[in-house]
Amino acid sequence: MPTDAHAAIPSYEKDFAQFDFMEHGSLDTFDHLGAYRALGPIYTVHFRGEPWVCIGGLEANAMAWRNPDLWDYESALTPFREIMGDRHVTQMDGVPHRQKRRQLKPGFSMSSIGRLIPAIDAVVKRMLGESANKEVSLHDLFMRSLTYANSETVLRAPLSETEVQTFIRFEEEFIVGTIMESSARKAFYERESFVKDKAFVFGYLGQLVQRRLDGEQVEDNFSEVLKLTLEDRGEEVDLQELVSEAYLLLMAGTGNTAKLLNCGLQRVWKDRPWLEALREEVESYQPLSFARGMDAFPKLKATLMEIERMFPAAPVLARVVAQPMEFEGRKLEPGTKVLHMQTLTHFLEEIYEDPYDFKPQRWLENNYPKKAHGTFGGSTHICLGMNLARIHMPIVLANMLKDYAFEATKSPEIQVNFNYGVPQVSDLSGRLVSISRGQ
């Protein structure tokens, strides 16, 4: 989209930052909050060599989620097509997308995941127990725990420790590549180590899917997903489409959930009064405690909401306009690249008082607008793994807070941000100590 097509829209560089984008074309961080205050909910920015339109605030979230058919998701999420194929759920719009979401629903609905809570809890307990009184990276521990939990529940896939590490390495490098410029991403994905991991991951899942197609009976969520996909697609379905569905159940979102837990726990452990209140609340936790929701654990629920608010794993989403549209009186033509700052609302003090302070109590005292919470997106393209993350996180936190203390040896300072391509990263390391053995 030519720059002059955006002439009527305020410019981040000219109208706010007062510099020429030609001199700062590689800029990776922006003061989006300041620009929103100065320019309003829509403005342009030059990002990675191209003109983009930024939209943010409650108005932007309402507009972006109200009509998902305004957006061309396939063009916006090219890296997923490059790795997962053109039948991946992120590559679909309109009716095909809604059909694919229906096929995937048995894998990710709260009811289908909720019945697996005892099994997920057992894996988490086992992994924490094996790590007790050892020096651990919590990010690594969470990634391994969540991968094992998925491999024993939603997609039954027997994985060795080496295989788990390969899946984790592939997932993390795949996601890192998705935020790169196309030529850099191509080189990154062509590295020998990544190609080798990709071949193993797809080979393993390809064999698993083929066994299911050949009649192997396994009771897991993937079996229900596979049944619906075959009913809808029949002979048109190809192996890669089914492999990408299996991959979603096994790995999608594990890295983001691990990062959320890492960042959140650092803040929880620093707030001793809130920590003690949480420990008192989860003392009664049992695996089936969450089967009926989290009403019995209001402080834990508030903590999770505050973690989601402060440390969104995908602060900004790239979009491409699919059909002529208008926002705040500004016309956007098809092909316009848009950065939807869906979590900018998380840091607006008119919505959340003292937004950069970790205050779980705020969720006990206030009812916030639904469209102010953008961690998982919204509408028909809302994050597919949201329910899984909202089962995993309370189970991990309840078990950790109830049974363990943590002696940190590496506790990096977390920088709250909402820039595109700058996910929250926190490698919190230390010793997990069983409370029953004394602190």
pLDDT of residue 424: 55
pLDDT of residue 426: 63
Residues 208/211/215/216 CA torsion (nearest 10 deg): -60
Residues 136-150 have pLDDT tens digits of 999 999 999 999 999
Residues 233-291 have pLDDT tens digits of 877 788 999 999 999 999 988 998 998 998 899 889 989 999 999 999 999 999 888 88
- What's this model's pTM, rounded to 2 decimal places? 0.92
pLDDT of residue 100: 93
Looking at residue 47, the DSSP 8-state letter turns out to be: E
Identify any residues that bridge with 430 across adjacent strands, giving them in sequence order.
136, 408
- Pick from 227, 199, 233, 231: which is nearest to 212 by CA? 227
Residues 386-413 have pLDDT tens digits of 999 999 999 999 999 999 998 888 766 6
pLDDT of residue 235: 74
372: left (phi over 0), alpha (psi -120 to 50) or beta: alpha
Average pLDDT, the chain: 89
Residue 156 has pLDDT above 80, yes or no: yes
pLDDT of residue 419: 59
Residue 29 has pLDDT above 80, yes or no: no
Residues 100-125 have pLDDT tens digits of 999 999 999 999 999 999 999 999 99
Q: How far apart are CA 242 and CA 230, in angstroms?
A: 9
Residues 280-316 have pLDDT tens digits of 999 999 988 888 889 999 999 999 999 999 988 788 8
CB 54 within 8 A of CB 32: yes
**Contacts for 90 with CB less than 8 Å, ≥ 6 apart:** 73, 77, 80, 81, 84
pLDDT of residue 46: 86
pLDDT of residue 22: 52
Confidence class of residue 342 from pLDDT cuts 50, 70 and 90? very high
Q: How many CB atoms lie within 10 A of CB 296?
A: 13
Burial category of 70 from C-beta neighbours within 10 Å (exposed 0-12, middle 13-18, buried 19 and up): buried
The distance from CA 246 to its chain's CA centroid, rounded to whole angstroms, is: 17
Query: What domains can you pick out in the chain, each with its CATH number?
Result: 1-71+321-343 (3.30.43), 92-318 (1.10.630.10)
pLDDT of residue 1: 47
What mean pLDDT do residues 46-61 have? 90
pLDDT of residue 172: 93
Residues 195-206 have pLDDT tens digits of 999 999 999 999
- Pick from 414, 438, 408, 410: which is nearest to 426 by CA? 414
What mean pLDDT do residues 42-69 have? 91
pLDDT of residue 28: 53
Identify any residues that bridge with 51 across adjacent strands, giving them in sequence order.
46
pLDDT of residue 266: 87
Q: How far apart are CA 395 and CA 385, in angstroms?
A: 16
Residue in the block written with tokens 């491999």:
151
More confident residue, 26 or 53: 53
What mean pLDDT do residues 421-439 have? 67
Residue 166 has pLDDT above 60, yes or no: yes
